[in-house]
Amino acid sequence: MIEHSLGEFEELVLLMVAAHHDEAYGVLILENLEEKLGKKINISAIHVALKRMENKGFVKSRFGGITNERGGRRKKFYAITALGKRVLDNQYALRTSIYQQIPKISFS
Amino acid sequence: MKPSPPHRALKFLRWFCREDYIEEIEGDLTEVFEKQYEQSQTKARRKFTWSVIRYFRPEFIKSFKTSSSANSVAMFRHNFLLAFRQFKRYKGTFLINLVGLSSGLACALLIYLWVNDELNVDKFHEKDDRLYQVMQNFDRPNGVVTGDYTPALLAKALLSEIPEVENATLTNTIYQSNWAKGILSNKDNSINTKGILADSDYLNVFSYNLIQGDKDKVLADKNSIVISERLAKKMFNTSENIIGKALDWESEDLKKVFQVSGIFKNTPLNSTVAFDFILNYDILLDNNPESNEWYSDHAYTYLVLREGTDIRQFNDKIARFLSSKHPLRAKCTLFVQQYSKRYLHGKYENGKQVGDRIVYVRLFSIIALFILLIACINFMNLSSAQASRKMKEIGVKKAIGANRKALIIQFLSESILMSILSMMIAVLCVMLLLPQFNVITGKSLHFTLGTGDMLIMLSIVLFTGLVAGSYPAFYLSGFNPTSVLKGKPNSSLREQWVRKGLVIFQFSLSTIFIVCFLVISKQIELTQTKNLGYDQDNIISFQRHGALDVDDFEVFLSEVKNTPGVVSASNMSGNIIKQINLNVGYSWEGSTREDAEITFPSPEVNYAFIETLGIALKEGRSFSPEYSNETSKLVINEVAAKMIGFKDPIGRYVKRGSQEMQIIGVVKNFHYTSFHEIIKPVFFRFDPIGKTVLVKIKAGTERATIEHLKEIYEKFHPKNPFEFTFLDDDYQSLYEAENRVAILSKYFTIIAIIISCLGLFGLAAFTAERRTKEIGIRKILGASVFGIVRILTSDFTKTIVIAIFISLPISYFLAKNWLDNFAYRIDLQWWLFIGTGLMTLLIAWLTVGIQTIKAARINPTECLKDE
């Protein structure tokens, strides 16, 4: 499943897109991720991830309306696709199943 | 007021970023920027720029391949078609452009051929970059004199003493050229020919390639002669199997039998020296022992320096070389000059390199460039003026999505197409004109369509096309489609000024050309018409040859004098026009030690010389057989009299070395050389053995008299052909370069004017066409034809007047500069400039006038009915 591979950062972005269904766009994702991760991220990293995932068919996008904000530029909103959701679910299931194999020992 | 992100970074982003991503990315970046801006301005800006740079990666960079190849072929065909339609529709403009550009290109091409030929003279030697000629500076009281003649011993001495010298050779100088001028004969043929004397390394230093023989050996001994292929064909009718054959040599100084030891290829046309045979230099040394001394200059010395030799250091090293060899050489400094540079940069004045031929090479290159520019300007002006015709096309194209680049390409391809067409015509013209051009320039240029020429032509075409198309391309493609399609004529003040500026430039150049041409031809006229102080009409001069002794010569001369039709005859040493013998070592009462080092032109003349040339005697007498011991007498010119400073010079004495010489006469000043030089003090000495015979012939009897002279000459000089020149022709040849420049500048001036006028004509026609409605209305309201002509021409008049005012000071400066080359020159009078100005204006009016009168006479109903 090469084409359905998902990098760590991509996964984070995809989760964000899914969380803010149809309302997610570059800056929003950036800010939420920065808040959750507690570190600075460059906007270009978000765009790279989004474009890659769009190419793989995990997300789809649409343009918003024209406003006077952002120098008159339209926002591009992203939504997760069915495939994207499935990949996310698979990833989650995989991790949980492995996680559950961890023996119940104290890791102090 | 919203803060705006860094302008340059944004521009960069927009330039490289994919179109389908740019909106999102720019928007997001701006949003981030605006949020950060509230905290820190500088940080926000820095962050923005940094982010932009982070986007500069393959995923986000757009593909710069604008269109696929199929599309570009289609676009090419489309542009081609449009250009052709344009040409067909506006035939007048097309013709003006074509004629202008092709004559400009033809000029440029001719000049390129000439310049290229000049630059390649003497460059064919294999060791060209290391081949140097030794030059000599003489420190004289009236300045440093530079000469290329050196002692014959120098070559060997330099080779053995200076390690940087890899090889050295010598040849005879022009002053010893009679050693290699004479008659070669075998049993079949006898030919009067000219060669050089050189030492055995000559063919190793210079690349005159041998067809037969070993270049190390052919000049090894004194009995050998190396002949050219051409001479071999003439003497033996073949160039095969003639090594070792004998040739009889007879010249003034030498009779000898030589064996052919080798054959060389004919000296190439781009070689400054041309010769038909080479003899061993030792012949000269044996027969003229003086030439083997350090104090006498009998040779040109050429060196091949080792690779990597620093010329400045080398010159320092050899500077005192000669002065260390002989006390008489104390004031001589040696230096070297690259051999192939001698042709273009051969002139020295006071020890410094000055102009020479390179000046003309530069001059004509500049002229070519300017003529081409004038032609390009026509194209620029006409196509930008006709912008209104193209506006709709541009508007529609832009509206349906043509980008600016496509339009620029369209206009440039139109202009390049134009210049390709013009180049074809220009090539035809050049082929037709080349023989004529060769006559004027005295060259034998060929126009071959080889790769070299093709490349140059291609680059000229591209250059012309790009320059001519640049302004319309960038100007027209910048139109705003909405305003164009709305029908608002886009004729800004700036645009009109650019057009006027270009016309000003054209006409300034034309005016400068006219002034320069007039000044050159006036100066040439001066050299033709000014009283030279002697009479050169109907005088022929020829050389006496062979070993004719003094008594025989006297008989010969008296026979010449008695020939019917001969007015008088005399002879002299040297040549009155080209080369008068120079002497040093004169002293007189009150002269200083330094005066003894001044070189005086001092020709040795026979009786009746002054009378034959018609030089006016101011006081005293000239040499005459009625007096005895004339060899110790002197006739001087006015300048000399003034220099010596005697109040009454007749009968006083001047010393030459230890010999007392009495002044018997003073002649008025006369111009013995060209007007480039001032008249120097001349001392005429008496000696009847001079080799140049001058014969004054009665006007109208030239043909018969020359026939008679020929008979007498051949009686006394069997084998020698009678070769004579007219003195006035010799005089003309002094101004060969100037005459050529005069003729060429005439043609180039005419072409420049024609091209400029064509442009103006086109512009006037266009303006008149644009303003027909205005003219119609004006006429209906009662304007006269004259009034309308005035309105239409006043604009052009202003432009031309500005051009004239700009160009006159420049041309004054140029003309003055050129005239400074002459010691005797015309005065630059004001009317010459005013006249040229008026002439330019008149030409411009005539050009514009035809169009405007036609426009002004139009019937107003004609032009107003269709609206």
Q: What is the pLDDT of residues B446-492, one digit of tens each?
A: 877 777 778 888 888 888 888 888 877 887 787 777 777 776 555 56
- Tell me whether B27 touches chain A (CB under 8 Å): yes
- Chain A residues in contact with B23 by the CB 8 A cut-off are 63, 73-74, 76
Does B34 touch chain A if contact means CB atoms closer than 8 Å? yes
Contact A43 B26 (CB under 8 A): no
Which of B2, B34, B54 comes nearest A44 by C-beta?
B54
Average pLDDT on B200-206 reads: 89
Minimum-distance CB partner of B30 among A25, A51, A73: A73
pLDDT at B732: 81
Residue of A nearest to B2 (CA): A71
pLDDT confidence of A2, banded at 50, 70, 90?
A: very low
Size of interface A-B (CB pairs under 8 A): 62
Neighbouring residues of B367: CB distance < 8 A, sequence distance ≥ 6: B107, B111, B513, B745, B748
Model pLDDT, residue A1? 43
Contact between chains at A25 and B28 (C-beta distance less than 8 A): yes
Domain boundaries, chain B: 7-55, 72-120+377-491, 133-314+331-337, 503-532+733-867, 546-719
Contact call for residues B305 and B287 (beta carbons, < 8 A): no
Q: Which residues make Cβ contacts (< 8 Å) with residue B750, sequence separation at least 6?
A: none
Q: What is the mean pLDDT of residues B575-579?
A: 75
CA-based nearest residue in chain B for residue A69: B31
Percent of chain B with pLDDT over 90: 6
Contact across the interface for A70 and B32, Cβ inside 8 Å? no
Q: Return the percentage of chain B with pLDDT > 70, whole number.
A: 97
Confidence bin at B304 (pLDDT 50/70/90): very high
Contacts of B30 in chain A (CB under 8 A): 70-71, 73
pLDDT band at B132 (very low <50, low <70, confident <90, very high): very high
Residue A54 in tokens: 């769009």
Rounded-to-10 torsion of CA B414, B417, B421, B423? 110
- For the stretch B792-832, pLDDT in tens is 888 888 989 999 999 999 999 988 888 888 888 888 888 88
pLDDT recorded at residue B640: 85
Q: Does A76 touch chain B (CB under 8 A)?
A: yes
A30·B32 Cβ contact <8 A: yes
What domains are defined for chain A? Answer: 8-100 (1.10.10.10)
Does B28 contact A43 at a Cβ distance shorter than 8 Å? yes
**What is the pairing mode between strands B617-620 and B659-667?**
antiparallel
A73 vs B4, B26, B55: nearest CB: B26
Residue of A44, A70, A76 with shortest CB distance to B30:
A70
**What is the rounded CA–CA span in Å between residue B109 and residue B333?**
43
Residue B168's pLDDT band (cuts 50, 70, 90) = very high
Cα distance between residue B677 and residue B703, in whole Å: 34
CB B566 within 8 A of CB B696: yes
The 10 Å CB-count burial string (b at 16+, else e) for B435-445 is: eebeebbebeb
Q: How far apart are the first and last CA of chain A?
A: 37
Tell which A residues from 16 to 35 touch B, by Cβ distance under 8 Å: 25-27, 30
Q: In the predicted model, what is the mean pLDDT of chain B?
A: 84
pLDDT tens figures, A32-60 = 999 988 888 888 888 889 888 888 888 98
Q: What is the ipTM of this complex?
A: 0.87
Lowest mean pLDDT among B729-738, B752-761, B796-805: B729-738
Report the C-alpha gap between B474 and B860 in whole angstroms: 37
CB within 8 Å: A70 and B25: no
Cα angle B136, B138, B140 (rounded to 5 degrees) comes to 165
- Which chain B residue shows the shortest CA-CA distance from A73? B27
Least Cα separation, residue A31 to chain B (angstroms): 9
Written as six digits, the tokens of B238 are 């073949």
Closest by CA position to B96, among listed B857, B851, B859: B851
Q: Is the dihedral of CA B347, B350, B353, B356 positive or negative?
A: negative
Contact between B30 and A71 using a beta-carbon 8 Å cutoff: yes
Span B32-50, mean pLDDT?
A: 86
